[in-house]
Structure 1
Amino acid sequence: MTATAPGGAGPGGRSAVPYHETTEDDYAATYTARLDITHVNEETAVLSGACPRCGCACAYVHTRRTFRGARRRLGDGEIPVHCTCATGHPGRPEGEAGCGAYWNVRLERR
């Protein structure tokens, strides 16, 4: 599930930032400040927010169980997250999504 700004532009109609695989120390804090988490089931959560680099809306689906095996609930631990927006970032490789930004988010059971 992703969102695209009109005309392939970034938020507010600004020019989209060029695709670049990068991370910064503040990306996780910026992303989680206004993050919405939807628990789909015991193993899957959807993290929805704005990319800290390009500002576009993006959603990241986190599934604990990648391979068939023992069932585990979402729990503590850092997970890698990356921008998944559909905005047309110049220089983005064919078949890729997002602007190239990535960061780690800690999921905690409450």
Structure 2
Amino acid sequence: MTTSTGHQGVPYEEITEDAYSDAFAHGARAIPTRRGVLLDGGCPRCAGQMSYPLVDKVFRSPLPPGAQVPATNSKVVAILCTCPEDHPARPDGERGCGAYWNITLSATT
């Protein structure tokens, strides 16, 4: 079933496909926030609109003395569908359709 917003009410299933990463990256926006970045886009499986916060600033505790964080201009992160739409068979307390994928975030200078 497809809604007027384009969302497809597919049954909940924890699933990934190679094409999910490129499909999400193609239409998503990365919005800088005080603690990191908010990825805003459509789920490549169900087309539900979603926002996914990625926190990249340590705010709970500092690193131990002498610890170093490796410098990198990119990192791979796991993304889960977090659309608020209904999906049959979704477990209580879950959001989204169950789709997941990895994307690479690159720092811009």
Q: TM-score, normalising length from structure 2?
A: 0.81
Corresponding letter in the other structure for 2:94: E
Q: CA deviation at 1:68?
A: 1.7
Conserved in 2, the CA contact under 8 Å of 1:82 and 1:100? yes
User: The residue matched to 2:4 in structure 1 has which SS?
Assistant: helix
Superposed, which structure 2 residues align to 1:80-99 within 5 Å?
Answer: 80-99=78-97
Whole-Å separation in 1 of the counterparts to 2:76 and 2:59: 16
| 2:15 corresponds to | 22
How many residue pairs match? The answer is 100
Unmatched 5+ stretches in structure 1: 1-8
2:61 aligned residue (54, 65, 68): 68
Conserved in 2, the CA contact under 8 Å of 1:50 and 1:58? yes
Unmatched 5+ stretches in structure 2: 64-68
For the structure 1 residues 66 and 28, does the alpha-carbon distance in structure 2 shift closer, same or farther, using more than 3 Å as the test? Answer: farther
Q: CA RMSD in A?
A: 2.4
Tell which structure's C-alpha radius of gyration is larger.
Answer: 2
For the structure 1 residues 86 and 74, does the alpha-carbon distance in structure 2 shift closer, same or farther, using more than 3 Å as the test? Answer: farther
Moved over 3 A (4+): 72-75
Conserved in 1, the CA contact under 8 Å of 2:8 and 2:48? no
Whole-Å separation in 2 of the counterparts to 1:109 and 1:26: 23
Superposed, which structure 2 residues align to 1:48-67 within 5 Å?
Answer: 48-64=40-56, 65=58, 67=60
Conserved in 2, the CA contact under 8 Å of 1:83 and 1:98? yes
Q: CA deviation at 1:75?
A: 4.8
Whole-Å separation in 1 of the counterparts to 2:23 and 2:33: 24
